[in-house]
């Protein structure tokens, strides 16, 4: 739980830097630089990729995942430049909700009434934060609502890929594809970054990689169902950092919606844990982990 809680603090710091850079740099250019520099930090993972992994790779699924994830990344970076950190974090917690829907639609997994109820509650929580029709909806919130199911679909494809391919290979291919997908859009809005922006984007890539490593360590040494609750501390980190750096104060509806989303996500994780114990299929394979898409 310590490692997962630490990863949440690192991710929140990473998000704050993205928000800060987003005030002067186009979010698409920022997303390209994040993954471009991220390739350098992933050199140890590339070393682990064997030629047999390359030959056996399902390139159709890797390409589809790269296109989807790259699109989601650009939407996520745009949302980060528009709406408070706590809102981005809270809406991002709907990932298991959308993953459950995707598993039922595309993987033909049986979703029973309790989990369906949790899905509906999670979606209601997200809508409560955005409140369409009751408040002016920021384009950043719409972008995040679109990005969340895209990332969930990317997770499902990763689940399928890891049945036959190594984890390092799947991580490495995604980084290459996302860098390629964001390259052309980034060139269309490109401007020469300042020295400060170069340093900040390098720090962004480094923090994102470090956050993933901390989360993987947490999942490695602890049961996923046990450490899952520590992930939601990221909402607290995001709220505190958002207030300290940008004077962002989450509203009442953000907290209520976040509580509903977190409760639904915890319930889904609990159902998955019980299903694994009884040997029934689950949305999340027992040997895989879901990590943030930053």
For residue 284, pLDDT beyond 80:
no
Residue 278: predicted pLDDT: 67
Say yes or no to pLDDT of 260 above 80.
yes
Cβ(200)–Cβ(21) under 8 Å?
A: yes
pLDDT of residue 4: 84
**Burial of 224 (C-beta count, 10 Å sphere; 0-12/13-18/19+):** buried
pLDDT in tens, 120-160: 998 999 988 888 766 678 899 999 999 999 998 998 888 88
- Region of residue 290 (left: phi > 0; alpha: psi -120 to 50; beta: else): beta
Q: What is the rounded average pLDDT for all residues in the chain?
A: 85
pLDDT of amino acid 294: 58
Q: pLDDT-derived band of residue 293, with 50, 70 and 90 as boundaries? A: low
What's the token pair of residue 112? Answer: 């029973």
The CA distance from 269 to 197, in Å, is 39
Angstrom CA distances, 29 to 26, 185, 193, 205, 273, stand at: 5, 8, 10, 13, 40
57 or 287, greater pLDDT: 57
Percent of the chain with pLDDT over 70: 89
Confidence band (pLDDT; 50, 70, 90) for 194?
Answer: very high
Indicate whether 214 pLDDT > 60: yes
Instruction: Determine the pLDDT at residue 290.
Output: 42
Whole-angstrom distance, CA of residue 14 vs CA of residue 37: 14
Ranges 148-152, 180-184, 228-232, 262-266: which has the least confidence: 228-232
Query: How many CB atoms sit inside 10 A of residue 229's CB?
Result: 15
Note the pLDDT tens digit of each residue in 233-256.
888 899 999 999 999 988 899 999
């Amino acid at each position: 739980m310590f490692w997962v809680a630490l990863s949440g603090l690192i991710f929140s710091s990473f998000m704050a830097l993205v928000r800060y850079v987003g005030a002067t740099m186009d979010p698409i250019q920022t997303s390209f630089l994040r993954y471009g520099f991220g390739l350098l930090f992933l050199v140890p993972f590339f070393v682990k990729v064997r030629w047999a992994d390359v030959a056996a790779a399902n390139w159709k699924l890797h390409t589809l995942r790269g296109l989807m994830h790259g699109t989601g990344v650009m939407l996520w970076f745009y949302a980060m430049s528009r709406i408070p950190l706590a809102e981005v974090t809270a809406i991002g917690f709907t990932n298991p909700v959308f993953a459950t829907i995707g598993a039922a639609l595309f993987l033909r997994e049986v979703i029973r009434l309790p989990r369906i109820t949790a899905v509906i509650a999670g979606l209601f929580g997200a809508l409560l934060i955005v409140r369409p029709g009751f408040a002016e909806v920021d384009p950043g919130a719409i972008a995040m609502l679109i990005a969340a199911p895209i990332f969930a679909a990317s997770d499902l494809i990763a689940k399928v890929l890891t049945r036959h391919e190594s984890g390092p290979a799947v991580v490495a291919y995604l980084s290459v594809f996302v860098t390629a997908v964001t390259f052309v859009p980034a060139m269309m809005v490109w401007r020469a970054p300042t020295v400060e922006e170069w340093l900040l984007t390098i720090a962004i890539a480094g923090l994102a990689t470090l956050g993933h490593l901390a989360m993987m360590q947490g999942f490695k040494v602890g049961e996923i169902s046990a450490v899952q609750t520590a992930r939601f501390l990221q909402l607290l980190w995001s709220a505190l950092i958002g207030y300290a750096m940008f004077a962002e104060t989450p509203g009442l509806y953000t907290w209520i919606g976040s509580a509903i989303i977190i409760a639904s996500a915890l319930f889904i994780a609990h159902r998955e844990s019980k299903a694994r114990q009884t040997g029934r299929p689950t949305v999340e394979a027992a040997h895989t982990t879901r990590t943030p898409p930053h």
